[in-house]
Structure 1
Amino acid sequence: MVSRTSDWRDELGRWLKPFLDRLGHKARRQMCPLYVSGLIGPGDRKSIQPMAKRLALGECDQLHHFIAAGVWDATPVETELLIQADRLVGGDDAVLVIDDTAIPKKGTHSVGVAAQYASALGKTANCQTLVSLTLARGEVPVMLGLRLFLPESWTSNQARLKRAGVPTEYRTARTKPELALAEIDRVIATGVCFGCVLADAGYGLSAPFRQGLTARKLTWAVGIPRHLKVYPADVRMIWPVAKRGRPRQRHVPDILSIPAEDMLANAKWRTISWRTGTKGKLKARFAAVRVRVADGPPQRIRDKGQQHLPGDEAWLIGEHRMSGEKKFYLANLPAKTDLRTLAATIKARWICEQAHQQLKEELGLDHFEGRSWQGLHRHALMTMIAYAFLQYRRLKTARREKKNQRAAAATDIARRAPGHPRTHRSTTATAMPTLQKMDLQRKAA
């Protein structure tokens, strides 16, 4: 088993070479593989001091300096992560999932910590919130970015931001959707290939976010709240007739907008299965209609109050889950897209939740004990690099298994041929390891 442990560490060293080339200084090139192997290796706690002890480094000063105090630019390393992720799972059939993940924290000094909604806990709690980007294809996710969201209690206090080492460009208030769009621009600039952007209702509610995706010529499918206003796709803009006073100067819609839930009240619902899970087929009831979203300029309509004018045409999709829960989505997929494709697209977002869970439970994303912006983001970057390496090994094992299966099938065909001597079927193929299985293997080693 010791040799197997040595094998994956040697492989990690080779795989990390393009990252190390971007780090420059010899000491940083030495610390990076140690830190990443500490995250991957055995041990329940993945903060600096326990990892330094397991790596037999004696004092933890070197690891601490590399992550929290060292003067080096993480941007080139972040760019290399995008390049490697694209090689692993990029493609026209890949999805880019936008979400956020919460790290519970005590106290008030850690950068970005505040009482805010923590999705991991399902309630408001003292935590840090990271906007996340996940690239996924074929149910294999690779994390691309984790960027800290700063609540108003931080952006309104410049002295507090300075103490935590927040870079100047991040000291102004930005919403999560604004952060996400900036991260998407970084991903696009690096040339990462994907087919569709997915996000939950926390982002889908934002008209500027949806419009920003459209302006970037991206295909998207996002969750929305049930009360978001929409128009029928055939809504018309007309000149209102003035009963008295001056003639009207602007067009108005010939029908008022209504909540998304009401728009689907009379739609035709179908039960659709989008994939097979561990307990069988995952299915729910879906319906979809073409609409125009009420996210155009606001305009006051006589006797009707203020209405947002019709925006772009899109798909409005409803989901009724077996639990009774109802969900609603918008997507700018082509008008000819069938319902099964719409359902499969919006449900592909689940993969980011799996990635968040594995980053925390297996690689210690939430174990960082420092307080600074720089330390938190460098630690997060190292966990994403470790995760990408494990996915590289997972895909490599899957390719080897597929090759062995093809060889075994060819042997069987040849064996059945008349006059061919009987041979034993190959038994070298192994099941694709999940990250959890790898963890068990590491602990056994």
Structure 2
Amino acid sequence: MNTDWRSDLEVWLAPFLAALGHKAQRAMCPAYIAGLIGPGDRKSVQPMAARNGDIPYDRLHHFVSAGVWDSAPLEAALWRHADHLVGGERSWLIIDDTSLPKKGEHSVGVAPQYASTLGKKANCQTLVSVTLASREVPLMLSLRLFLPDIWTADPARLNRAGVPLEHQGSRTKPEMAIEEIDRLCAAGVRFGCVLADAGYGLSAPFRQALSARGLRWAVEIPRHQKVYSTDVELVFPARKRGPSRMHPVPDQQSVPAHKILETATWRRVSWRRGTKGGLAARFAAMRIRVADGPAQRIGGRTAQHMPGEEAWLIGEHRSTGERKYYLSNLSADTSLRLLAAAIKARWVCEQAHQQLKEELGLDHFEGRSWTGLHRHALMSMMAYAFLQSRRLTAVGRKKKSHRPTTTAQSASNTTGHS
């Protein structure tokens, strides 16, 4: 990064700083973000203050952990900026979560739980993340701490960590994701389709909440997710004795997703070009009805789910032999290539998670409080948005400088040298 980034940061932060009413806060915010962006292996408060030299540790620590200021205006400014850079009908809103491994048990939300970063259960914090992306350019919009049951069942522990009352109740990650999507929609953030991995895609309430809001979505599912053929009908089967049924039942049984795709036609599809050529895998897709309607007893089997929304069922066979399955409510005329591109676009959020940790110290915060963690996460997202803005500007300049000359310019240049 060239040396003028600090002056660029000062200009870029102007809309954000206007939301901070106190002069000291307007000074601390640039110092904190510059500390995250600047050199140094550790991006926790103490080493950042030591490298700065002009800002005492206690002032920087007070700003992020205990200062009285509202983060909502900074969030709003971040969302406006992200929407301006990558928002639109062709953009993706990607739901995921990322883990922050931690020692001890006092930091807010820390507990033994599945750590996506490590691929196993570990002592960590888990953040539900929302990323806006377009043209493979991600910007992180939201990072919200998930509280495991061991925390929500202990009010004293929640109070010691400063968890606000409205966040102390037990909530699933899909429920948290829907709340964040609602906030972003209310703020006018533009996107065309919501993407999520199987941790969210397996949740029928999550998918149904997206559809109820008129949103398009494409989500990963477990291979055993039950589905029906699109020609399923609801009937009242005849009964030899006893009263007739009060509710109709499907005229066919639901089957696991991987079973129904066994008879499908599989094609090799390339969804985009990578650094080593086209990225491709074998895909199949068919229209189905998701078995996620109300549960009832059907044909002697209890808790069978009725047919729900019609959607795409998509299968992916990777070159490694791994097989993945997805559902999407994209329109029935969507091509297989576009379906593949949608489900594969989700992986760009992992790039954002990695850069936030490796370059900007998202996982370096050493405080224990709810407020401190979320403010540190917000500063990290703002720092990342600044870097993405610079990268996009640099790419724009490079493209402009490499534009071929027009015929008229070429003729003029030739004449000048004759």
- Calculate the TM-score normalised by the size of structure 1: 0.92
The CA deviation at 1:413 is 6.2
Q: Does 1:415 align with 2:410?
A: yes
Report the equivalent of 1:72: 69
Q: Deviations over 1:2-30 (max 9, x none)?
A: xx42x211111111011101111000000
Q: Secondary structure at the match of 2:373?
A: helix
The one-letter code matched in structure 2 to 1:49 is Q
Query: For residues 283 and 413 of structure 1, what CA distance do their matches in structure 2 show?
Result: 42
The CA deviation at 1:160 is 0.3
Query: For residues 224 and 97 of structure 2, what CA distance do their matches in structure 1 show?
Result: 22
The one-letter code matched in structure 1 to 2:34 is S
The one-letter code matched in structure 1 to 2:312 is W
The one-letter code matched in structure 2 to 1:313 is E
Name the count of aligned residue pairs.
418
Query: For residues 47 and 23 of structure 1, what CA distance do their matches in structure 2 show?
Result: 22
Report the equivalent of 2:96: 99
Report the equivalent of 1:437: none
Q: Secondary structure at the match of 2:416?
A: coil
Q: Determine if contact 1:414/1:420 at 8 Å carries over to the other structure.
A: no
Query: For residues 272 and 404 of structure 1, what CA distance do their matches in structure 2 show?
Result: 34
The one-letter code matched in structure 2 to 1:341 is L
Q: Deviations over 1:143-168 (max 9, x none)?
A: 00000000000000000000000011
Deviates more, 1:239-248 or 1:261-270: 239-248
Q: Secondary structure at the match of 1:358?
A: helix
The CA deviation at 1:307 is 1.0
Report the equivalent of 1:438: none
The one-letter code matched in structure 1 to 2:366 is E
Q: Match for 2:30 among 29, 33, 36?
A: 33
Distance 1:276 1:76, change over 3 A: same
Query: For residues 257 and 99 of structure 1, what CA distance do their matches in structure 2 show?
Result: 29
Q: Secondary structure at the match of 2:402?
A: helix
Deviates more, 1:241-250 or 1:410-419: 410-419
Q: Match for 2:116 among 103, 114, 119?
A: 119
Distance 1:115 1:416, change over 3 A: same
Query: For residues 154 and 339 of structure 1, what CA distance do their matches in structure 2 show?
Result: 44
Q: Determine if contact 1:94/1:195 at 8 Å carries over to the other structure.
A: yes
Q: Deviations over 1:28-53 (max 9, x none)?
A: 00000010011111111100011001
Q: Does 1:348 align with 2:308?
A: no
Distance 1:418 1:381, change over 3 A: closer
Query: For residues 55 and 330 of structure 2, what CA distance do their matches in structure 1 show?
Result: 56
Q: Secondary structure at the match of 1:264?
A: helix
Report the equivalent of 2:149: 152
Q: Deviations over 1:120-153 (max 9, x none)?
A: 1010000000000000010110000000000000
Query: For residues 273 and 298 of structure 2, what CA distance do their matches in structure 1 show?
Result: 49
Q: Match for 2:182 among 181, 185, 193?
A: 185
Report the equivalent of 1:194: 191
1:42-441 alignment, distance < 5 Å: 42-57=39-54, 59-406=56-403, 409-410=404-405, 414-415=409-410, 420-422=415-417
Q: Secondary structure at the match of 1:290?
A: strand
The CA deviation at 1:398 is 1.4
Query: For residues 87 and 341 of structure 1, what CA distance do their matches in structure 2 show?
Result: 24
Structure 2: runs of 5+ lacking an equivalent: none
Distance 1:135 1:94, change over 3 A: same
Q: Deviations over 1:253-273 (max 9, x none)?
A: 000101111110110000111
Structure 1: runs of 5+ lacking an equivalent: 424-445
Query: For residues 55 and 267 of structure 2, what CA distance do their matches in structure 1 show?
Result: 62
Report the equivalent of 1:439: none
Q: Deviations over 1:196-221 (max 9, x none)?
A: 00000000000000000001100000
Report the equivalent of 1:432: none
Q: Secondary structure at the match of 1:285?
A: strand
Q: Secondary structure at the match of 2:304?
A: strand
The one-letter code matched in structure 2 to 1:335 is A
The CA deviation at 1:62 is 0.8
The one-letter code matched in structure 1 to 2:386 is F
Query: For residues 280 and 47 of structure 2, what CA distance do their matches in structure 1 show?
Result: 44
Query: For residues 53 and 267 of structure 2, what CA distance do their matches in structure 1 show?
Result: 59
Q: Secondary structure at the match of 1:129?
A: strand
Q: Determine if contact 1:415/1:422 at 8 Å carries over to the other structure.
A: no
Q: 4+ residue stretches of structure 1 with deviation over 4 A? A: 416-419
Q: Deviations over 1:214-239 (max 9, x none)?
A: 01100000000000110001111111
The one-letter code matched in structure 2 to 1:415 is S
The one-letter code matched in structure 2 to 1:277 is G
Deviates more, 1:78-87 or 1:27-36: 78-87
Query: For residues 327 and 230 of structure 2, what CA distance do their matches in structure 1 show?
Result: 13
The CA deviation at 1:302 is 3.1
